[in-house]
Amino acid sequence: MRGLYLGLALAGIVLIGQPAARAKPLATCAPPDNPFDKQVCADPDLRELAREIDNQVDQLRRHYQGEDRRVFNVEYKHWRYYEYLCIAVSHKEGERGCLRGDFDARLKLLADLASGSKNIQEVAASYFSVEPWYVNELPKQYEGRAVYVYGDIYLRGCDDPGMPRSGLIRYPPLRLIPRPSPYIKKEESIEMRFDRIQDYVKSRTCEKKAADLTGTVMLDHGRPYIYVPELF
């Protein structure tokens, strides 16, 4: 399928290992039951690309073992969620153009993974803009990396006279979840820690809660948190 088998052959990969269950199809056309499926199933080119992606994903899932397989599945879940945003959010190239570009890019990435020219551990941790659930799934891969997170912030100590030094950030707010969205099971939070916070930021955040931040992923006894020197 468009470069996968050639890539596997060139890499000398033999698909032997414990069996992996076949992934859920990228689009379900019998019958399509959501806007994403309807868009893909109504377009012959997109439908064929979706089938190629399904085949390549199944080949790689059979190849990967242990932690590599888990990381591959998490990264693929992340990508599938963002494909829904092609339908939920307007794009200048339109829904079809957004999906076509993303499908082509995904096929290229899958071929690179199959040939060994890209490593799934590095690919999975290459996203700068992330959600808490994704970092929670990949703490070791993200340790020491900078990330951007948007969501609802809950500071510990909003009602105390002292300066809060930690809190939680949760994403996505309910209003932003495309419906239906089968790829995120629940809202998840991640801890954030900081050394300083501007007074006006404390007041604004405690009142409105929604905010964004850029920080570094750190681990505390294996649990990830986002460290920001100063919240401003």
pTM over 0.75: yes
Examine the domain organization and report whether 69 and 164 are in the same domain. Answer: no
Q: From CA 125, how far away is CA 203, in angstroms rounded?
A: 33
Single out the residue in 80, 99, 124 at which a domain terminates: 124
- Determine the pLDDT at residue 21: 63
The residue range of the domain holding 28 is 4-124
DSSP 87-147: HHS--TTHHHHHHHHHHHHHHHHHHHHHHTSS-HHHHHT--SB--HHHHHH-HHHHTT-EE
Last residue of a domain, one of 99, 124, 149: 124
Chain-centre distance for alpha carbon 152: 18
Q: Are residues 36 and 104 in the same domain?
A: yes
Asked which of 96, 124, 152 is the last residue of a domain, the reply is 124
189 and 214: one domain? yes
* Residues 105, 145 share a domain: no
Q: How far apart are CA 62 and CA 39, in angstroms?
A: 29
Nearest to 84 by CA among 98, 74, 97, 71: 98
Are residues 85 and 137 part of one domain? no
**8 Å CB contact between 229 and 198:** no
Kindly state the greatest CA–CA separation across the chain.
65
Same domain assignment for residues 13 and 108: yes
Query: Does one domain contain both 91 and 107?
Result: yes
Over its length of 232 residues, how does the chain's per-residue pLDDT go in tens digits?
444 444 444 444 444 445 556 668 898 898 887 888 999 999 999 999 999 999 999 999 999 999 999 999 999 999 988 888 788 776 667 888 899 999 999 999 999 999 999 999 999 999 999 988 899 999 999 999 999 988 778 777 776 666 666 788 877 544 444 444 444 445 688 998 888 777 766 776 776 677 778 999 999 999 999 998 877 6
Angle at 130 between CA 192 and CA 202, to 5 degrees: 35
How many structural domains comprise the chain?
Answer: 2
Give yes or no: residues 113 and 205 share one domain: no
